[in-house]
Amino acid sequence: MQDDLPLAGVVAVELSDNASLPYGGQLLAGLGAEVWKVERPGGDATRTWGPSRWRGEGVAFHALNRGKRSICLDIKDPHDLATLKDLIQGHAHVFSHNLRPGSAAQYGLDAASLRANKPELVCCELGAFGHVGPLNKEPGYDPLMQAFGGIMTLTGEEGQPPVRAGVSVCDFGTGMWSVIGILAALYRCKGTNKGATVNSSLLETAIAWMSLGLASYAADGYPGSRHGSGVAFLVPHRAYPAADGHIAVSCGNDRLFAKLCEALGHAEWATDERFANNMARVANRDAIDGLIGDALAEHTRAHWKDVLGRAGIASAPVQTTAEIFAHEQTKALGILGHPADDTLELVGVPLSFDGQRPPPLSAAPSLGRDNEQLKSLLRKD
């Protein structure tokens, strides 16, 4: 199936470190692109991340860099820099990097320099604060952007210290934006033979995730607040304690709320003026959340999943990593798997084409594994 994937034949060179761009590059590889990952001497920082390790390296590297070739080049070394440029100019359709803004130009790896000789090249530059503005040269990582972008002000419980989302939403989101931009640029290039420079950043991703909160502020100055597992604009729409854990319940409209009340044995809540419509429930969220929580606490998650399901109410148990790993729905999707050259089960591409998910990517490469292949490739030029 690899030759049938949408990006078969596309060659991407990725000068990357950490999480955002490597995640994007892995998505490109999962869609069929040939991805050459360029690592500095010593390797990508994720090779040393903990706590879990696999084959002597941080498992994070394996989770973010499957399906790629690895070449180890020091761009501060003139010979290695020339080698990288030869690979890009001679073979790449896409070149992406997450160097600090301004650094690429020092080495002639900026879009203007590379596209001067190869105008059809698609260049993608990812940063922390963005490619323009007074902070564009500042470094930044996912927690910093969740802080600066306002996400932490809406995450966690009111009155408690700021909380970061438990997964790297800015890193992974920026990697996704990079792929979207690259695909759009490749599509345009196919008809015009004109490349593009794609820019995105962790901060732009954070701001994008704040779309609803920023809209509220623009409309009436509401700055937002924390609601734990809930949200500002809809009630009920959160996790509640059950007898054996927590279960998330969501009612997207007043009709569904009435059904929830009936399923919980309290049809009278739906006609209580404090709860009769969503705006009223938002204003009285503590009261209704407390009532719903007390009712749900009487039985298990499985009991309520069945009862609410029969009533047409959307719900989901709050699952641990182990539970989602083992769940029959996860298995049915086939999104976890391992390639022939490894036994570590990891997440695959979250897309299917004509009902088929792209096959598992090959294992993440050892540092500089493909240096000799690169030399052979360039000797043929």
Q: CA 156, 159, 163 angle in degrees (round to 5)?
A: 30
The Cα 132–Cα 129 span in angstroms is 8
171 belongs to the catalytic site: yes
The upper half-sphere exposure of residue 177, i.e. CA atoms within 13 Å in the direction of its Cβ, equals 22
Residue type, 381: D
Kindly name the residue from 142, 171, 289, 370 that is annotated as catalytic: 171
The closest of 71, 18, 77, 15 to 44, measured between CA atoms, is: 18
CA dihedral 25→30→32→33, nearest 10 degrees, is 10
The closest of 179, 126, 123 to 7, measured between CA atoms, is: 179
DSSP 24-61: HHHHHHHTT-EEEEEE-TT--GGGG--S-EETTEEHHH
What's the Cα-to-Cα distance from 162 to each of 3, 154, 226, 239, rounded to whole Å? Answer: 47, 8, 9, 19
- Token couple for 291: 């009532």
> Which residues form the catalytic set?
171
